[in-house]
Amino acid sequence: MGYSTLDTHHSVLDTLNSILGTHHSVLLKFFTAMTFNQKISKHDNSMNIENAQVQMRKGILEFCIMHIISRGEVYASDMLDELTSAKIMVVEGTLYPLLTRLKNSGLLDYKWVESSSGPPRKYYILTDMGKQFLDEMQQTWVELSDSVNTIVLKTQDLGAKNEQQPTK
């Protein structure tokens, strides 16, 4: 794993930590799995770091959104604000289709609430099935994070040992 990829992992961990608190290790596992499972064209011999970073973020977006909604009723623009403040850049064109897919899967529901400053607002909530799904994702994330952290730390330890050895 190159230096810039490790920096990306740490940067994303810091961002995710602001959303999920102590559960950031779970997210590391998930986005790493998503990144390394992406297929690279046979004609492309190099990996584009920007594409890898986008894939990492996409892989964890659903997990982050479900965590945000798990705290209680949430308006979509509030989700966008939280994700943006946590440096996970998402636009409405990405968020709304994802929310629709989660709703159609039975993981989310919504209710309309009248607004004094305009039209009614749609507030999202997790269904019981969504809560169970998030719990299972959380468990998977923890297991995957531990595995990835084991590998990354071993690589870092070996790199530090190699730097301390004199060259011949």
What pTM does this model have? Answer: 0.65
For 33-47, write each residue's pLDDT tens digit: 454 444 444 445 457
DSSP assignment string, the chain: --HHHHHHHHHHHHHHHHHHGGGHHHHHHHHHHHHHHS---TT--S--HHHHHHHHHHHHHHHHHHHHHHTS-EEHHHHHHHHHHTT----HHHHHHHHHHHHHTTSEEEEEEEETTEEEEEEEEE-HHHHHHHHHHHHHHHHHHHHHHHHHHHHHHHHHHHHHSPP-
* Average pLDDT of every residue of the chain: 79
For 10-68, write each residue's pLDDT tens digit: 555 555 555 554 444 445 545 544 544 444 444 454 578 888 887 877 778 999 999 99
